[in-house]
Amino acid sequence: MIEGETLVPRGASVAGRVESAHSSTFSGNQGYLRLSLDAVDIAGRDLPIRTSSLFARGKKGESRARDVSPVVGLEQGHRLTFRLAEPVYMASKAANPGR
């Protein structure tokens, strides 16, 4: 939000990458994911962004195949907060009256 105006609505689609992942072989340890974002969908257009990486503890799951590593996942509804690593420039609504 900037000056009380929401720029990116909740539930907006994003694209990013898993920078690292680690599942634990110890029971009770959940493992972790390190994630970052590359783009966010604003009004049907992908806006390139760069965020710092986010460290998130996951929920350890079982692999479904013998040759696949154990799974680390996040529960649905798990809130993730990313911080911008550089400024993002967007046209204002006043500059685009048709939007």
- pTM, two decimals, is 0.68
d(CA 68, CA 23): 12
Q: Which residue has the tokens 């539930």?
A: 11
- The percentage of the chain sitting over the pLDDT mark of 90, rounded to a whole number, equals 28
Model confidence at 53, pLDDT cuts 50, 70, 90, reads very high
Helices (H) and strands (E) in the chain, counts: 0, 6
Bridge-based pairing state of the strands 59-61 and 71-73: antiparallel
User: Using CA atoms, how far apart are residues 66 and 52, in angstroms rounded to an integer?
Assistant: 34
* Residue 86: pLDDT over 60: yes
DSSP-derived secondary structure letter, 80:
-
d(CA 10, CA 77): 12
User: What pLDDT, on the 0 to 100 scale, is given for residue 25?
Assistant: 65
Residue 24 · residue 32 · CB < 8 Å: no
Residue 15 pLDDT grade (very low, low, confident, very high; cuts 50, 70, 90): very high
Sorting pLDDT into bands at 50, 70 and 90, what band is 23? confident
